[in-house]
Structure 1
Amino acid sequence: MCQLLGMNSRLPASLTLSFTGFSQRGGCTDHHSDGWGIAFFEADGQTPGRAARHFVDKESASTSPIAQMLRSYPIKSHNVVAHVRKATVGAVTLENCHPFVRELWGRYWFFAHNGDLKDFNPPLHGAFKPVGSTDSELAFCWLMQELNKSHATVPSVEELSHTLAELAPKIARHGTFNFLLSNGQALWAHASTKLHYVQRQYPFNSVHLKDEDVSMDLSDFNGPEDRLVIVVTEPLTTNEDWVAMQPGELRAFCDGALLV
């Protein structure tokens, strides 16, 4: 199985610390060495950006020179989706690396999936077709197709959450369907077996990574106005209260908080 990492933030925030620990699971502290990727919306000052940066590599995240660059590059974004892959369906090729990116209603969408889908062969009759050979990209294309059929223009985050809550179970009945999805407005997380999240806000504390002997005092880099949520397959730190999502649960995060 693969592992997922996502971030949703009220203000532009860096994912450097979380990505440092997460990338070690791509072949160092875990066996997810069949490629990796990260996608984020470049912040435009304090405003959520619409421009997308997307990096994928079929090398392991723990040894990839691109991943090494990103571990030191101060990514500033409101929404980020990252993935380390353990191949089960589809060869170890660049086109099969998550996150996948598509355009809908004039916005980019990022999607990453953890799990296996059996006997999932939906008809695709629109503009969304897989480039690679994974069940994950097929599921993403179907989701985009059905969202496009359900709404004429980009709906509110609440409306999108309602539609996704109807669509996700139709895929999840075919197997394990943990996923992260973002269009730059919000981050959606669906748990089939395993996903955890934590909210970080003022007053910020010191955190210690689980996968690497690194500690950081978050109060040195964040102020009273900062607030963010980290979503990951397995908790990244040893001293925070991570919330385990329940099977079948869909959560939307907006402005660094859980959207109820």
Structure 2
Amino acid sequence: MCQLLGMNCNTPTDVTFSFTGFAQRGGRTDHHADGWGIAFFEGRGLRHFVDHQPASQSPVAQLIQRYPIRSRNVVAHIRKATQGEVALENCHPFVRELWGRYWVFAHNGDLKDFEPRLHANFRPVGSTDSERAFCWIMQELWKSHAGVPSVAELTLTLGELAPRIARHGPFNFLLSNGDALWAHCATNLFHVERRHPFAHAQLKDEDLSVDFSRNTSPDDRVAVVVTSPLTVNEEWVQMQPGELRVFVDGAGADLPAQARRSV
């Protein structure tokens, strides 16, 4: 299956260290070689890069590793195709507009017989089950809320929608609208929260380490979510199947209790 990477921070931060290790899984240290993509929120704007080449060989991925784009919310994906051909339109993360802002989504899993009825505002461009799931989520959010809801309200709605898709197969996903990062676990997702006192970290997939204390302030907080831990010396927390967490300003929270009761 695919690989997911998300970052949420309380101040704009670059993801070059984490992405350098993550990109190696796209054909060098792992077999996920069917394309990749990454999206960076910058204010209300969005930088979005996708490539159907393996991430470990892509010149665009090499650019991202050298270019310290600073963002408070980042979503990245490395693809192992299960549905849909290897093509640019099938590369995650996918982007849609709703309520005058961008939404970014990436999925790891394989949804069987998921053919929801979609109206004209949200239709897939490619042929993946993942993009269909994203379009359906956007459609249901639009139907459930008259305008941009709060992060708490969105978390409640996503907690109701995710199990309906998860009936069709593994549904690990990352979703962001620039205000927060939502992570839903079906099989494998891990997260780590980096905060003061910042420590030294060593990548698992590349011979590279960094001392975070040299480039951070005591108030900085950074949360990273990934399919499999990126570093060998940090305390990664494994999420549980069915767990939905929302990350805001570099800190995570569980799905609210009232939403858990309704699932």
TM-score band w.r.t. shorter chain: over 0.9
User: TM-score, structure 1 length as denominator?
Assistant: 0.97
Structure 2: stretches of 5+ with no match in the other structure = 255-263
Which amino acid in the other structure matches residue 255 of structure 1? D
In 2, Cα distance between equivalents of 1:107 and 1:15: 22
List aligned pairs for 1:123-162, cutoff 5 A: 123-162=117-156
Corresponding position of 2:2: 2
List aligned pairs for 1:75-224, cutoff 5 A: 75-224=69-218
Give the number of aligned pairs.
254
RMSD: 0.6
Deviation at 1:225, TM superposition (A): 1.4
Identity of aligned residues (%): 70
After the TM superposition, which parts of structure 1 deviate over 3 Å for at least 4 consecutive aligned residues? none
User: TM-score, structure 2 length as denominator?
Assistant: 0.96
Corresponding position of 1:46: none
Which amino acid in the other structure matches residue 240 of structure 1? E
In the TM superposition, what whole-angstrom CA distance separates every residue of 1:4-37 from its partner, at most 9, and x where no partner exists?
0000000000100000000000000000010000
List aligned pairs for 1:216-255, cutoff 5 A: 216-255=210-249
Higher mean C-alpha deviation, range 216-225 or range 184-193: 216-225
Deviation at 1:259, TM superposition (A): 2.9
In the TM superposition, what whole-angstrom CA distance separates every residue of 1:16-73 from its partner, at most 9, and x where no partner exists?
000000000000000001000000102xxxxxx1100000000000000000010010
Give the 3-state SS of the residue equivalent to 1:229 in structure 2. Answer: strand
8 Å CA contact retained: 1:190, 1:249: yes
Deviation at 1:238, TM superposition (A): 0.3
Deviation at 1:88, TM superposition (A): 0.7
Which amino acid in the other structure matches residue 242 of structure 1? W
In 1, Cα distance between equivalents of 2:62 and 2:46: 20
8 Å CA contact retained: 1:38, 1:54: yes
8 Å CA contact retained: 1:126, 1:145: no
Deviation at 1:126, TM superposition (A): 3.8
Corresponding position of 2:29: 29
Which amino acid in the other structure matches residue 15 of structure 2? L
Deviation at 1:75, TM superposition (A): 1.4
In 2, Cα distance between equivalents of 1:229 and 1:154: 24
Structure 1: stretches of 5+ with no match in the other structure = 43-48
8 Å CA contact retained: 1:8, 1:253: yes
